[in-house]
Amino acid sequence: MFIDIAEIHIKAGDGGNGAVSFSREKYIPAGGPDGGDGGDGGSVIFIADKHLRTLADFRYHKHYKASRGDDGGGRKCSGKKGEDLVVKVPCGTLIKDKDTGLVIVDVAQDGQREIIARGGKGGKGNVHFATPTRQAPNFAKNGTAGEESWIILELKLLADVGLLGFPNVGKSTLLSMVSSAKPKIANYHFTTLTPNLGVVSMGEGESFVIADIPGLIEGAHEGVGLGHDFLKHVERTKLLIHVVDIAALDGREPVDDFYVINRELEKYNPELSKRPQIVAANKIDALFDPTKLNEFISKMNEQNYKVFPISAGTGQGIKELINYTYEQVKTLPEPVIYGIAPKEILYKEEEAEPYTIVVEDDIYIVDGPWIRNILRGINFSDGESLQYFQRVIRQKGIIEELEQKGIQDGDTVRIGEDMEFDYIS
């Protein structure tokens, strides 16, 4: 089954918590703090694998989670780092952020390795919080959360050349003639429901990959006739061979067909309409009026398109077409996948607000990922830990912001879900 798009959720491992521990050795009844750090969480890593052909494995498995880092231990023992989760995808897979639609990365080359969600940092053990005036800190830091998000995997075929044209113009027949591919061929519309790839051998060590892009129709840029599913596979090709039925066996005009398809390319992605094209005027063996071919070539030449009269059925003219195609492929640059944004744009922890303050029913509510993470590492029954908490929220600006919102002595402050206390300036 050919599956070329999937939506999954990824979650990197959280960092392990730092330990609260004190040395308890013989003859040293009151040793100093020796709590170790928590281990970093595992990351979610995607690797391109040339042996994979579809995204079918992601159809039913939707959630991918890396391991959490281990907590720190006594005697300054650090927790073990969480194991990375390695996810293999076919070469040519775009990884997109679901919310923004931006392309995070293009996983195109075999073995390419990309970290898509980074593991959380391990928390510091209490050994780090000892000072000359705080010799026995009874608190440590918890690990931070690993990155997580919903992403879209979109497979775009890796082919040098794409065969383009209306249904039933002979693209599949041409592919079968020039490569070892064996596409399903029949005389009816929408014969090809999934793209077919073939390798065209030009001699020892010389070859290129050609893709039969399923037949397009007018309105494809709007998704008509699975247009979006098909058009996206054109984006990776260096060169397009635009196949037209010069004999007009379906009653359509070849020139009209040519311009309809190109308008669909431009509407879907304006850059695709600028992709180099060669025109293959197919079915010359069924053409009874040679003037139609001459008129077509003349109109194409006016637009600087090179035309090759061919018959995919008999093989006539195919050698000349393929030789010219190969020469073009060798000189054309690699195509650019448009819309790629650096991973940092999508996965910066600083983008999320560290905290928010709202007032509801005379209660000042402070909440957010940063403040919740701080809370997890505070021992409110320990005076030094509480002083540390008060100092941190003051340095972060929370106290100043509460005062700007009009808080008075005795007002209630709620932090996180259920931590409440009276404000005293």
Same domain, 192 and 114: no
Q: Identify the CATH number of the domain in which residue 358 sits.
A: 3.30.300.350
Instruction: Specify if 338 maps to a domain.
Output: no
Same domain, 147 and 18: yes
Same domain, 139 and 9: yes
Residue 401: Cβ-neighbour burial (10 angstroms; 0-12, 13-18, 19+): middle
Residues of the domain holding 203: 161-331
Same domain, 95 and 124: yes
Instruction: Specify if 93 maps to a domain.
Output: yes
Instruction: Specify if 344 maps to a domain.
Output: no
Say how many Å lie between the first and final Cα of the chain, rounded.
67
Helix 171-178, helix 318-331: angle, nearest 10: 80
Q: Identify the CATH number of the domain in which residue 299 sits.
A: 3.40.50.300
Q: Identify the CATH number of the domain in which residue 62 sits.
A: 2.70.210.12
Contacts of 337 (CB under 8 A, 6+ apart): 94, 103, 106, 156, 235, 236
Q: Cβ(212)–Cβ(312) under 8 Å? A: no
Per-residue model confidence as pLDDT tens for the chain (425 residues): 456 789 999 999 999 999 999 987 776 666 789 999 999 999 999 999 988 878 888 988 999 999 999 999 998 999 999 999 999 998 889 899 888 888 888 898 899 999 999 999 999 999 998 888 788 888 888 898 899 999 999 887 778 898 888 888 888 889 888 886 554 444 434 444 566 778 888 887 788 888 887 655 444 334 433 334 556 667 778 999 999 999 988 888 999 999 988 888 888 778 778 889 999 999 999 998 889 999 999 999 999 999 999 999 999 999 999 999 999 999 998 776 555 444 444 444 444 567 899 999 889 999 987 888 778 777 777 777 788 888 888 888 999 999 999 999 889 999 887 788 888 87
How many separate domains does the chain show? 3
What is the residue-wise DSSP string for 340-390? B--HHHH--GGGS-S-EEEEETTEEEEESHHHHHHHHT--TTSHHHHHHHH
Place of tokens 């330990």: 19
Q: Positive or negative CA dihedral for 245, 249, 255, 261?
A: negative
Phi, psi at 113, each rounded to 5°: -120, 125
- Rounded Cα distance, 207 and 87, in Å: 30
C-alpha Rg value of the chain to the nearest Å: 32
Same domain, 304 and 361: no
- Rounded Cα distance, 106 and 372, in Å: 35
Same domain, 130 and 197: no
Instruction: Specify if 346 maps to a domain.
Output: no
Instruction: Specify if 336 maps to a domain.
Output: no
- Rounded Cα distance, 117 and 151, in Å: 10
Same domain, 139 and 208: no
Instruction: Specify if 343 maps to a domain.
Output: no
Same domain, 149 and 167: no
Same domain, 145 and 190: no
Same domain, 27 and 92: yes
Helix 290-302, helix 254-268: angle, nearest 10: 30
Phi, psi at 91, each rounded to 5°: -60, 135
Position 266, amino acid: E
What are the distances in angstroms from CA 72 to CA 20, 122, 133, 261?
9, 9, 24, 62
- Rounded Cα distance, 136 and 342, in Å: 44
Instruction: Specify if 62 maps to a domain.
Output: yes
Same domain, 152 and 169: no
Last-in-domain residue among 302, 331, 360: 331
Same domain, 11 and 142: yes
- Rounded Cα distance, 173 and 168, in Å: 10
- Residue 87, both tokens: 């996810």
Instruction: Specify if 360 maps to a domain.
Output: yes
